[in-house]
Chains A and B, each alone.
Chain A
Amino acid sequence: MSLQVPTMAEKMAAGESPEILFWVGCAGSFDDRAKKITKAIVKILNKCKVDFAVLGTEENCTGDPAKRAGNEFTFQMQAMMNIQILDGYEIKKIVTACPHCFNTLKNEYPELGGNYEVVHHTQLLQDLINSGRLALEGGATFKGKKITFHDPCYLGRANDVYEAPRELIQKLDVELVEMKRCKTKGLCCGAGGAQMFKEAEKGDKEVNVERTEDALETNADVIATGCPFCNTMMTDGVKNFDKEQEIQVLDVAELIANAADL
């Protein structure tokens, strides 16, 4: 089944205003690994017949890495441009596939005039399942598997979302195992604060290696996460220990899409 990905421009031309905007994000648009997560989310949205659209080529970086790096000018330029586009389409509700986009749109756009209801994709998926729109039957079974969830900082500590991803994982009939540092005490993957785009400062270890050790200690079969940057960092961490055969790094959306046979 091919993906149905309407753009806001198409919707507007047809005189429709979709229920929700799917904010794909730069990683989800350009990074090969993250694109798979994007597609998993679209498959679920298609399956549940969610009336959504994307901005397509009209989407722009939210400015998050610029703001964390201290460049408020670049951030605000991006924010103002995005707000003009979002308001042009009269967007009310946004779902993001990235906790950084989520945090920025939700918390930092209002003061610049952009007011939207913003949810992270794990929250939307939770709604879809709880409201009966998405059934997890007939797909890949994870029964008996051990899954551990790595809290993205900008979803967890930054926005207090700890339960949505965990409830989703528990719906898979698996054993959810926690790392020694989890939830409020979760250790960063090392990518935040614009670190993703630079070499780490001098030290005696990479942060993602330290975090991967936490995950490996749980003997999980899957490291689940909800952030494309965490995904990259954890995948690299697993490679560092040559454990690609034993442990997979997957987004919660991918787990759910697999379980729903999508």
Chain B
Amino acid sequence: MISSILFGTLLILGLGFFTYNALKVRSNILLGRDVNRSDKKGERWKTMLLVAFGQKKMFSRPLPALLHLMIYSAFVITQIELIEIFVDGLTGEHRVFRASLGAFYPFMISFIEILSVLAFIATFIFLARRNLIKVPRLNMREMKGWPKIDGNMILFMEIILICCIMTMNGADEVLLSRGESHVGLAAAGDLSFNFSISSWLGPVLFGGMETETLHMLERIGWWGHIFMVFAFLNYLPYSKHFHILLAFPNTYYSNLEKKGKFTNMESVTKEVKLMMDPTVDPFAAPAEGEATESQRFGAKDVTDLTWKNLLDSYTCTECGRCTAACPANITGKMLSPRKIMMDTRDRLEEVGNNRRKHGKDHDDGKSLLGDYITEEELWACTSCNACVQECPVNIDPLAIIIDLRRYLVMEESKVPSELTGMLTNIENNGAPWQFSPADRFNWANEE
């Protein structure tokens, strides 16, 4: 009874606090400008299934993909066992599915155990990749400090989680063999759960222990497991690890256009049409219902970006595949597409917190451009789309880079001087170089 109340309280607190934080993230994301991603539903579902659920893009790097798949599948399949833990926790039963599922039960738990062991191994390899082998993309400039701790912390949590599962099952196995498990004996002589790992690991680790101790260990495993699940869940909104949930909506709302197609700026189209149409009265009052609020060209801060750009930033798990493929970064320039995403998220957190604390018109005098991302980073981009191509969850750092460039160029006229020349040439000569338009066709008559 007491444990049921305790469990219920943990459940409400765990889910409640997570919901609170998830809603905060949602409201932050909705600070972005609107963009329509409600079309082509079929293609969107397909993209999500292939890219997020099917991990398609991960497999361009087979080794980390395989290791990641071990952890991912263990995570997905363990959710089934979690249901049992919830029911047990609330009702005070012990392994409530064992009787009802019959022979399927040991199969299911065995499956989970095997995947858990694989995940356990993968986790250690991941820790080694981060801390011993020091895979370059996991140890770059922007990964110093919190991002590094964050990456390791998640892996440690996973290790503890798996240890708890194994302790719970192993101790229960030994208890059952002594006829002391709280699970009802399904049949006479039913002295093993027949779980693939814990049926031998349990006796090896816990065989020599007192029955009392085993009961305690089993409970520590059980409570430890569920506590870690809630801790993990509540850690997500503070961590790059949020990708395990956001990867799904983020791939669903992917940009389905060709990567080379940059967005068209409608606000500019309107002005250009005015300029090119001699019949339009430039001083005419705006038509009824037409938006008159002047919108900034491009993006200076996170609120100028679209909600999809912002969702991208929370979805980023800082794997660095984008940066490892970036020609600017490879050749030692300041630009790192991953840093663009991390900066966007960190600034968005700051803006969101400010608005909640000081009201929605609060201005802290800072902005994404300048305080987080420098002009030097932006001008190093070749717009080659390698970062977009590489991202396993379809994040688009290039869209943000271009929107920030647009602000620099169109609002502040801050253009590298050579580019000013190029732009003037296009406007005056119809070519990026200083050639006369009259000479454009000379090539046909030259030898």
Contacts and interface: CB of A to CB of B under 8 A. Distances in A.
Interface of A: 3, 5, 7, 24, 26, 28-30, 35, 38-39, 42, 54, 56-57, 59-61, 63, 65-74, 76-78, 80, 103, 106-108, 111-112, 153-154, 157-160, 184-185, 187-188, 190-207, 209-211
B163 to A, nearest CB: 39
Contacts of A192: 382-384
A197 B333 CA distance: 17
A205 B332 contact: yes
A208 to B, nearest CB: 9
Closest 10 CB pairs of A and B: A158-B260, A193-B383, A70-B405, A204-B332, A188-B384, A107-B261, A203-B332, A70-B409, A60-B430, A197-B422
B385 A73 contact: no
A29 B431 contact: yes
A42 to B, nearest CB: 8
A78 B423 CA distance: 11
A70 B336 CA distance: 19
A177 B432 CA distance: 34
Residue of A5, A70, A157, A195 with most chain B CB atoms under a 10 A cut-off = A70
Contacts of A71: 406, 409-410, 415, 423
A74 B413 CA distance: 13
14 contacts: A56-B441, A65-B432, A69-B419, A70-B298, A70-B415, A74-B427, A157-B386, A157-B389, A158-B258, A193-B384, A194-B422, A196-B432, A203-B334, A207-B327
A70 B382 contact: no
Given A158-B385, A185-B60, A201-B328, A66 B423 contact: yes
B190 interface: no
Interface of B: 60, 257-262, 264-265, 268-269, 271-273, 275-276, 297-298, 325, 327-328, 330-335, 376, 379-386, 388-389, 402, 405-410, 415-416, 418-419, 421-423, 426-427, 430-433, 435, 437-441, 443-444, 446
A29 B383 contact: no
A124 B416 CA distance: 37
B419 A207 contact: no
Given A29-B441, A158-B258, A203-B333, A76 B418 contact: no
B327 A54 contact: no
A111 B410 contact: no
Contacts of B427: 74, 77
A80 to B, nearest CB: 6
B272 A73 contact: yes
Given A26-B431, A74-B423, A76-B269, A154 B260 contact: yes
A184 B410 contact: no
B331 A76 contact: no
B390 to A, nearest CB: 8
A67 B333 CA distance: 22
